[in-house]
Structure 1
């Protein structure tokens, strides 16, 4: 499920009141597969589960759904079941009457767990029969549902259709005044944001969105697009506002891109690299005379500062104070030791690049500072490749004991050869599932960022629903001017995560065995 943009136990999550009033907390969705959630000061935490009244599912709900949100000040359990004819007939193979009974039972069950806020979604509502939709929503309200989420599950509806759907539900569902109407729009036809805004205009007061619009298939409604559209066109939406600090949008978008490996297209609205770039001569002339001619949003509103307006330009002659000031302006706070480690990497890059950009700084920080516990670190790597022979690589690693280990390998390319050399040293069976590389900036001297996903012989993980063992996947990222070095650093990052996980599993097994022995004695 997408994370909720806004939510409140009262039907006024969006407000037409003075926007300077206390902003409402942002909602956060948690996976139901976690036995415990972190402590939230204000945000909403949601555990989501498909409606199924079987005994095994009841055990699952009791074991995971309520405990997953027990620390939240505003806990919620979200249950859903399909209501369109095509889903009921071909997927659920149940009659409408059976679907209503299941929905009522599971909403009531969620309330019986002591959760004051229960969200219900009629999956594929966009293609559901209207009268049946009104009926099932009425019944779940009676059973205790407090939030009614209306999903356009396959992104099928057009904006005027979806807006009318929300308006019709609001007008024809008995008891709707006691619940919040929510939207959840997919982007299969590229209309998720438009449909979401149409829903808000028609009376929805919770909008489910995702940062960068990532999600199933073509994605979900984009948080940054929805938020900025509401902020820019507030007067046409009845004075609605979100209370979200939009100056964190750019940083949040970059963080999601980095950790997910899903990079937005350059022309992505609001957060794309070209969103505030003006190349046309006529546009540039207008911008130089008055920025409002072609910019409906100020870059400052989303926390984006143009490099040529920033003041500090870093290069190979920049000292510690200038670099540290740049980190502060970018919003990073690191310890003195972390800064010294980072500064060494910075100087290596600055010696080879004429100018170090903000994007370079962020890539180096992520690679040097924000990494898992280091078991193996890269000392040196040398690779040869070309059309005259096989690619070879020599890798030197520093192990957990501080000893240096060297291996050479041959591969189909320099990266393949380097990875084989790493495998020869570390001796952990792995399978490379994903490999991607992107350029941080333009130009031949750009830093390359690499992201990999590996799996190994780590089958101690259990699927929360089926109980089956599976091989856990581990992702890693690396950054360097040299693509081979960047690739090796990313591979080591993933292997270090795997080593840390394996170590934790072994330690847990040893503790369990020790406790078992003590109990028997």
Structure 2
């Protein structure tokens, strides 16, 4: 299917740098905490996608963030690995230490510049802020030649003061200048004008890269990012699935495809391999427990679905009637072929590839076994069923605890009761518990058989497909002593999926406790 024309030339000056902040700003979404292993895997996916800059974390924030940045710096060889730092000597040195192994490193330092932030957050005068801009950038240059400086809350900053801060950062050695719309306040035309003004009026602006970083509080993050490019920005900071603080960040997949499909309008391009987008989106959704909304642009379940008779008729005659891009271009399967119990391993592998998954042999065997079990119980197995199966496996942690059997008594005459048997460290443990409803009874039974102090922060159920035999996909989030762990599971039995998701979260929680305990061991006994 022909697409809208892309830029004819491929001059480097027309390339937009994609800066991914899923693991830093994205992880700041409440409840979106990722483990070290999950971040390492995500960094490989982002590098496969050819992301230019991977912001791997905020090293001073915690030992976990330091370790993530440090270990990602050891395994990523093509993308630039970036660490965030406030405008303080300690932050910058911690970031520099974390990034020391990187083949290509960047320190991203920032300070607030708006009147409201300077008065209430920093409690500093403008001249003090200006001095810290210069000092922080100069100190960061001692660690790397690639220094990015950000003016936090730039879009609510007085224009003359913003010019002075940008000039100080450039003079001190910054190579990238980020003008973030920190609170999602600006409008596209206004944002583009800020970049034009800075590029035209700040000495040395022609020798640095200007960057956008837009939040989505008014639903304008992607529009503002593209407007920033129109105003002269050469880098866009974004996150997979648009995750981030409050309403999130500009969505990487939307930015990339807007530039790809409408290259005729912006005359800009990226180096992103867009066929990896769906793979990255699903992995981020699986490890954070944040489902992608059905009508989400590019990666949503319905992004390439057509139900209207008029639309279907048009699609059958020519796909261009209602699709401006091909689903294959973003790694989505071209068709929704129904798989069943007679499907073979080869067909299953090809189906997984069409859905954006490339599993190793052991993972493939496990997923195929799950698929066969489901096909025996379910009349039709749809793409979304298969996605749920694979995501279930990807989200699983160290299986110290496994569900062996579950029997639940429910109905109008309470109390509801759950009889549960699990395998813990190879030993069968059983319990019977009641609760205010069947799910509560199941969770109480788990508490009895595997005592813990974790608090339930999220319990979410949604049907993967239509029909009474649809799989239920359950997400559970637990918190204990500041540690957050997410578990997911899918099953045609909602209560079984609930038990497995809760235990998956417990396994992940215990694994994190073990890694952070002195000597790498934790005294969790059952």
Q: TM-score, normalised by structure 2?
A: 0.84
What is the aligned partner in structure 2 of residue 51 from structure 1?
A: 87
Out of 178, 184, 192, the residue aligned to residue 221 of structure 2 is 192
Out of 85, 93, 98, the residue aligned to residue 128 of structure 2 is 98
What is the aligned partner in structure 1 of residue 163 from structure 2?
A: 134
**Greater RCO, 1 or 2 (C-alpha within 8 Å, sep 6+):** 2
Q: CA deviation at 1:48?
A: 0.7
Out of 99, 107, 116, the residue aligned to residue 77 of structure 1 is 107
Q: CA deviation at 1:501?
A: 3.3
What is the aligned partner in structure 2 of residue 37 from structure 1?
A: 71
**In 2, are the aligned partners of 1:13 and 1:24 still within 8 Å (CA)?**
no
- Aligned ranges for residues 193-208 of structure 1 at < 5 Å? 193-208=222-237
Out of 436, 448, 473, the residue aligned to residue 412 of structure 1 is 436
Q: CA deviation at 1:162?
A: 0.7
- Aligned ranges for residues 66-465 of structure 1 at < 5 Å? 66-112=96-142, 114-237=143-266, 239-308=267-336, 310=337, 313-330=338-355, 332-334=357-359, 337-368=362-393, 371-400=396-425, 402-456=426-480
Alpha-carbon distance between aligned partners in 2 of 1:505 and 1:93, rounded to the nearest angstrom: 36
What is the aligned partner in structure 1 of residue 37 from structure 2?
A: none
**In 2, are the aligned partners of 1:372 and 1:493 still within 8 Å (CA)?**
yes
Deviations 1:267-307 (A, max 9, x none): 22212222222233332222222111221111111111243
**In 1, are the aligned partners of 2:16 and 2:235 still within 8 Å (CA)?**
no
Alpha-carbon distance between aligned partners in 2 of 1:319 and 1:340, rounded to the nearest angstrom: 12
Q: CA distance change for structure 1 residues 193 and 509 in 2, over 3 Å: closer, same or farther? A: closer
Q: CA deviation at 1:131?
A: 1.1
Out of 486, 496, 507, the residue aligned to residue 485 of structure 1 is 496
**In 1, are the aligned partners of 2:92 and 2:139 still within 8 Å (CA)?**
no
Deviations 1:449-504 (A, max 9, x none): 11112123xxxxxxxxxxxxx43122211111111111111111121123333444
What SS is found at the alignment partner of 2:377? coil
Q: CA deviation at 1:342?
A: 3.5
Unaligned 5+ segments in structure 2 are: 1-10, 18-48, 60-64
Alpha-carbon distance between aligned partners in 2 of 1:372 and 1:284, rounded to the nearest angstrom: 42
Q: CA distance change for structure 1 residues 171 and 15 in 2, over 3 Å: closer, same or farther? A: same
What is the aligned partner in structure 2 of residue 462 from structure 1?
A: none
Structure ID, larger Rg = 1
Q: CA distance change for structure 1 residues 294 and 34 in 2, over 3 Å: closer, same or farther? A: same
**In 1, are the aligned partners of 2:283 and 2:391 still within 8 Å (CA)?**
no
Alpha-carbon distance between aligned partners in 1 of 2:345 and 2:318, rounded to the nearest angstrom: 37
Deviations 1:237-284 (A, max 9, x none): 1x2100101111122112212221222322222122222222333322
**In 2, are the aligned partners of 1:27 and 1:44 still within 8 Å (CA)?**
yes
**In 2, are the aligned partners of 1:11 and 1:180 still within 8 Å (CA)?**
no
Q: Give the CA RMSD over aligned residues.
A: 2.4
Q: CA distance change for structure 1 residues 153 and 248 in 2, over 3 Å: closer, same or farther? A: same
Q: TM-score, normalised by structure 1?
A: 0.85
Q: CA deviation at 1:124?
A: 1.2
**In 2, are the aligned partners of 1:474 and 1:494 still within 8 Å (CA)?**
yes
2:74 is the counterpart of 1:28: no
Alpha-carbon distance between aligned partners in 1 of 2:344 and 2:521, rounded to the nearest angstrom: 49
Alpha-carbon distance between aligned partners in 1 of 2:357 and 2:325, rounded to the nearest angstrom: 25
What SS is found at the alignment partner of 1:109? helix
**In 1, are the aligned partners of 2:14 and 2:268 still within 8 Å (CA)?**
no
Deviations 1:112-169 (A, max 9, x none): 2x21111111111111111111111101111111110001111111111111111111
Alpha-carbon distance between aligned partners in 1 of 2:452 and 2:281, rounded to the nearest angstrom: 34
What SS is found at the alignment partner of 1:274? coil
Q: CA deviation at 1:25?
A: 5.0
Q: CA deviation at 1:229?
A: 0.9
What SS is found at the alignment partner of 1:48? strand
Q: CA distance change for structure 1 residues 195 and 377 in 2, over 3 Å: closer, same or farther? A: same
Q: CA distance change for structure 1 residues 506 and 285 in 2, over 3 Å: closer, same or farther? A: closer
What SS is found at the alignment partner of 1:207? strand
**In 1, are the aligned partners of 2:279 and 2:356 still within 8 Å (CA)?**
no
